[in-house]
Chain A
Amino acid sequence: DTGVSQDPRHKITKRGQNVTFRCDPISEHNRLYWYRQTLGQGPEFLTYFQNEAQLEKSRLLSDRFSAERPKGSFSTLEIQRTEQGDSAMYLCASSLIQGSYNEQFFGPGTRLTVL
């Protein structure tokens, strides 16, 4: 399977714990994005990387959130001191810069439940 993969698919944690999610993009894609989706809403942009550089972070991404993409390959999203409001589906997407417009391909997501 050469699509975007995410691990784990589900995570249940207690409030105050730290969690880390991983995303493996399509291998030749140089852009990687993180989105969050809550019930009844569309995905909301969190941050994106071009190769290993994190080029923008949304205001949704509080200082408890940190994302990395070492070596421009896989990426991790860590949430420290989780809160119940962090419960959501966390989606990763990747794209290849080729021309002016490039569709993003999404992974299956990691569903986080904070108790």
Chain B
Amino acid sequence: DQQVKQNSPSLSVQEGRISILNCDYTNSMFDYFLWYKKYPAEGPTFLISISSIKDKNEDGRFTVFLNKSAKHLSLHIVPSQPGDSAVYFCAASGGSGTYKYIFGTGTRLKVLA
């Protein structure tokens, strides 16, 4: 039972354009969502998070949007840079102070120069 889904295994975007990565979840108990970036041979690196009381969170070039009614979140990267090329995982957890994340299967982003 895949509670967190990333339906696009890969995405290619031109440098300077917007990258939009999508994530869907099924568990309505999830109340904290995160995006991680992963380069080959490295562990996931935290990018940005959002709690369920918000519908948007921005950090520089990265913005996460949360649509609770649709159980959908997205990560926008503007402008995209070649160094953003990596695998992006969304993750979710349920309950304040909860301990474990449920990850999606990842989307490989390639930013073309």
> For the complex, what is the distance from the CA of A44 to the CA of B44, rounded to whole Å?
13
Given contacts A100-B96, A100-B97, A103-B34, contact A45 B46 (CB under 8 A): no
Is A43 engaged at the interface, CB distance under 8 Å to the other chain?
Answer: yes
In the complex, the answer to whether A31 meets B105 with C-beta atoms within 8 Å is: no
**Would you give the shortest CB distance from A35 to chain B, in whole angstroms?**
8
Is B102 engaged at the interface, CB distance under 8 Å to the other chain?
Answer: yes
> For the complex, what is the distance from the CA of A10 to the CA of B95, rounded to whole Å?
35
Is A21 engaged at the interface, CB distance under 8 Å to the other chain?
Answer: no
List residues 1-42 of chain B with CB under 8 A from any CB of chain A: 4, 32, 34, 36, 41-42
Interface size of B in residues (CB-CB distance below 8 Å): 24
A103 surroundings in chain B (CB, below 8 A): 34, 46, 49
In the complex, the answer to whether A106 meets B45 with C-beta atoms within 8 Å is: yes
Contact of A104 among B42, B46, B51 (CB under 8 A): B46
Is A91 engaged at the interface, CB distance under 8 Å to the other chain?
Answer: yes
In the complex, the answer to whether B32 meets A107 with C-beta atoms within 8 Å is: no
B104 surroundings in chain A (CB, below 8 A): 42
Is A85 engaged at the interface, CB distance under 8 Å to the other chain?
Answer: no
> For the complex, what is the distance from the CA of A42 to the CA of B37, rounded to whole Å?
11
In the complex, the answer to whether B96 meets A91 with C-beta atoms within 8 Å is: no
